[in-house]
Structure 1
Amino acid sequence: MSSSATLRTFWSQLSTEGRWLLSTVAIQTLGRGLTLPFTVIYLHEVRGFSLDLAGTLMSFIAVVALLVTGPGGALTDRIGARRMILFATTAQMIGCTVLAFATTPWMAALAFVFLGLNFGVSWPAFNSLIAAVTTGETRQQYFGINFALVNLGIGLGGVVGGLYADVGEPRTFTVIFLADAASMLVPIALMLGPLRHVTGLHEAPDDADPAAGSYLAILRQPAVLWMTALTFTGVFVGYGQLEAGFPAFAREVGEVSTRVIGFSFAVNTAVIVLLQFLVLRRIAGHRRTRVMLVMAALWAASWVLLGVTAAVPGTVAAVGVLAFAAVFALGETMLQPTVPAITNDMAPDHLRGRYNAVNAGAFQGGAIAGPAFAGFLLHHGWSTAYVAVLVAGCGLIAVLALVVERLISPRVNGIEEPPLVSADPATGEPTPAG
């Protein structure tokens, strides 16, 4: 079956609500792409904050997000994902507006409070809404294609931001942050318009144990606990560095221009958009945890590539930065369809918000530690140690994936469970059950 035919099949299997959600993803993330690669540069080179302070401030987003993720997940289960998405996107709009004019660390911190509210609430809410309108293999495909479209919007925004933003012209950064704020009008219009009837609410079964819905009870499940550790580690060595450590390393150690950094995000996006669906076809029917092993190897290779740029700063380093972005992106195409799918396939419908909140909390934890770690080591000039720790972290991801594999069912791990067999009473030969 061709990829286009498979894509048409996937689209035909989606509900109207799923199509609305998917068709607007790239537009609403375009604004995020304008600012994502340049926030740490904006704080450091435009507003004059030290590099370690800039990293700490960016970590503050995740601190706030971590504090609100638990309540956000519980509220998602109680009042619905749609309402929580409206709250989160409004907070993002306010935060970007404040950051556009932030000239002091305190103003930046206030902006990051609002950005953290969005970051902490939107993850469990959006994932719960996606899970409410998808099932089975379609759910894994949806998460992967959604990720590709998110990156399409971010990548296009990164190219525009790289060409437009100029550290010598602070107003250019004000413009891109205001554009990021305006992009939040898209999901708000979606939730108030075509998807106003979608709540994402599920009633608990009559025989459900109320105590099983507590976060402590959820985390006591070994599969959830180890999956949480895996998510934290993945974010620490991955996305926690992509937003802060990677741009800072490329700029300060590799001595590349902001334009190169912007184009590296474009390369990252191109790989994801061009290869995501092919990767989805390749991993369909395979253990999701084994896919993570390949991802860990790719990420380790990408960090080695970035580390090499320290020896050849300038023009040659720019090639290494672009190569890093491509290899890292290929790993991302394997992470994004797997972790959310495992989380949502483990979760009972009425507790989906909480399960996604646990996973989001691990994400926030990695996002807190990642930029702070990068800012501290790079501020002190320990670039070699920085890369070495990240490569070792990729090895830890592989170990954790193998632990999770032993704790989850084949269905949750993305493969069909073998049919049960029973013995024929006359011959003793095994026969399909039922």
Structure 2
Amino acid sequence: MRTMRGWLQDTAGGLPRTFWYLWAGTLINRLGSFVLVFLAIYLTQERGFSASQAGLVLGLWGVGGAVGTTIGGTLTDRWGRRPTLLTAHLGAATMMLALGFARDLWAVGLGALLLGLFAEAARPAFGAMMIDVVPEKDRLRAFSLNYWAINLGFACAAVLAGVAAEAGYLLLFVVDAATTLVTALIIFLKVGETRRPVVALAGRPSAPAGALRTILTDRVYLGFVALNLFAALVFLQHISMLPIAMGDSGLTPTTYGSVIALNGVLIVVGQLFVPRLIRGRSRSHVLALAAVVMGIGFGLTAFAETAWFYGLTVLIWTVGEMLNSPSNATLIAELSPAELRGRYQGVFSLSWQVAGAVAPVLGGLVREQAGNTALWLGCAVIGGLMAVAHLVSGPARERRAAALRTATPVVPAVALQPPAPEAGEAAATAPAEPLPGTPDRGTRTTTVAAG
């Protein structure tokens, strides 16, 4: 009992209350995240679109997401985390319902585009807020717990969506919109603004004018973003081409829901232990291993025909995902300046949105032109090349992170929190330790948007 209590304390103890409100919002939102999981099946089986048309709609969702993360990152830094989150969630809930009632291809495409814009505009604000309230020493735990919540919700949603789809696909859109509104309500009632004015140092302005130029000349960070883009191109095949491939094998949407739920189940069971397993190990080596394992998992899909074999491939690439996520999150957290935190979040999220636009279209074209086997074996090749790239570029990233840690830290101002904090709740409004970095420095998290 003492051992279990100690494990729980090491895993979840000492995190600020604001984090747990965000965590609860994530879990509730993901419990209703039906639509994206089943969108490809909905478009091909319910709406009668071809695989290419379905890929186009999913691609438009990714284009909207790319615009949304760019706008969301800027608004996060200029307008604030809280208003950006609230606006994005309310807009996403509205567009979710609109997409559910759309019938013609142009209307479905427009709905997907606007839904992607609003849904993904929330990512930079959420990531920046997580970093604002969680001290650096606790961020690996916090990122892992949030990722755990994402996948607990995803596992449940995948199974429930298969059942709900039998009652009518419109129900998927209604429930998804409702859980998005509940998340917005939690943020409105319980989460205050966490953005902190950055103290100007050595005559530097607190909000640099050349923000975009700074990011575009950060070759170390952009190289890392590029590697994530390729990882996302592979990973997002699980919501675009995998359900179509399983349908071609004669498997039902309910079977797809059960198989893809294995992804969330394995993460729920294993993710709480992964941070301990990789703690103290080279992040570049962990990321390289993750790329290889993910590539193998998706590559084996080329030979799958039965539900159990598809399930096995999902379990394999899920292990790669579990290794990738915590190391990814902490590296991003150490490579983004505090005054540009939202924008850096937006650029990283942009890699997911570009992949979201390209992956279904590219996957559909490769599948139609070269065949199912070429698609999945191509994913395996990309995984191997990414592993080599992580090993080569890793030392430069770690040198940059070390330089930021030893540079002059920013002295943050206390964030304004409309809900009055209780005694002992200081950690919810300001980090327990200064944010380390360059003359201005901060961090980032991502929910592998993937989930």
Query: After TM superposition, is the score higher than 0.5?
Result: yes
Match among 238, 259, 266 for residue 264 of structure 1: 259
1:3 is displaced (CA, Å) by 6.6
| Pair 1:188-2:221 in alignment | no
Q: What per-residue deviation string (whole Å, max 9, x for no partner) do you get for residues 165-205 of structure 1? A: 13xxxx6100111110101122211121011x233343253
Which residue of structure 1 aligns with residue 410 of structure 2? none
Which residue of structure 2 aligns with residue 420 of structure 1? none
| Pair 1:244-2:240 in alignment | yes
1:233 is displaced (CA, Å) by 0.7
- Letter of the 1:227 counterpart: F
Contact 2:300 2:376 in 1 (8 A): no
| Identical columns (%) | 26
Distance in 1, matches of 2:210 and 2:189, equals 32
Following TM superposition, where does structure 1 have runs of at least 4 consecutive aligned residues deviating by more than 4 angstroms?
A: 1-4, 209-213
Q: What per-residue deviation string (whole Å, max 9, x for no partner) do you get for residues 122-179 of structure 1? A: 121111111111132411221122111111111101101112313xxxx610011111
Which residue of structure 2 aligns with residue 401 of structure 1? 390
State the SS of the aligned residue for 1:329. Answer: helix
Greater Rg over alpha carbons, structure: 1
Q: What per-residue deviation string (whole Å, max 9, x for no partner) do you get for residues 285-315 of structure 1? A: 2222211112112112212321111xxx3xx
Which residue of structure 1 aligns with residue 356 of structure 2? 367
Distance in 1, matches of 2:299 and 2:12, equals 38
Match among 226, 246, 269 for residue 274 of structure 1: 269
Summarize the alignment of residues 333-348 of structure 1 with structure 2, pairs less than 5 Å apart: 333-348=322-337
Which residue of structure 2 aligns with residue 283 of structure 1? 278
Distance in 2, matches of 1:352 and 1:44, equals 39
Contact 2:26 2:149 in 1 (8 A): yes
| Pair 1:376-2:365 in alignment | yes
Query: Normalising by the residue count of structure 1, what TM-score does the alignment of the two structures yield?
Result: 0.87
Summarize the alignment of residues 283-432 of structure 1 with structure 2, pairs less than 5 Å apart: 283-309=278-304, 313=305, 317-380=306-369, 382-409=371-398, 412=401
- Counterparts in 2 of 1:219 and 1:119: CA distance versus 1, 3 Å: farther
Distance in 1, matches of 2:285 and 2:197, equals 32
Distance in 2, matches of 1:259 and 1:68, equals 31
Contact 2:266 2:315 in 1 (8 A): yes
Question: How many residues are aligned here?
Answer: 401
State the SS of the aligned residue for 2:183. Answer: helix
Contact 1:27 1:153 in 2 (8 A): yes
1:324 is displaced (CA, Å) by 1.4
Which residue of structure 2 aligns with residue 422 of structure 1? none
State the SS of the aligned residue for 2:239. Answer: helix
State the SS of the aligned residue for 1:336. Answer: helix
Which residue of structure 2 aligns with residue 157 of structure 1? 157
- Counterparts in 2 of 1:284 and 1:159: CA distance versus 1, 3 Å: same
Q: What per-residue deviation string (whole Å, max 9, x for no partner) do you get for residues 242-292 of structure 1? A: 21121122222x332212110012211110000001111101122222111
- Counterparts in 2 of 1:279 and 1:217: CA distance versus 1, 3 Å: same
Where does the alignment leave 5 or more consecutive residues of structure 1 unmatched?
Answer: 418-434
- Letter of the 1:127 counterpart: G
- Letter of the 2:392 counterpart: V
Which residue of structure 2 aligns with residue 432 of structure 1? none
- Letter of the 1:399 counterpart: V
1:4 is displaced (CA, Å) by 5.3
Distance in 2, matches of 1:279 and 1:9, equals 13
Summarize the alignment of residues 163-178 of structure 1 with structure 2, pairs less than 5 Å apart: 163-166=163-166, 172-178=168-174
Contact 1:3 1:277 in 2 (8 A): no
| Pair 1:31-2:32 in alignment | yes
Which residue of structure 2 aligns with residue 230 of structure 1? 227
Summarize the alignment of residues 97-136 of structure 1 with structure 2, pairs less than 5 Å apart: 97-136=97-136
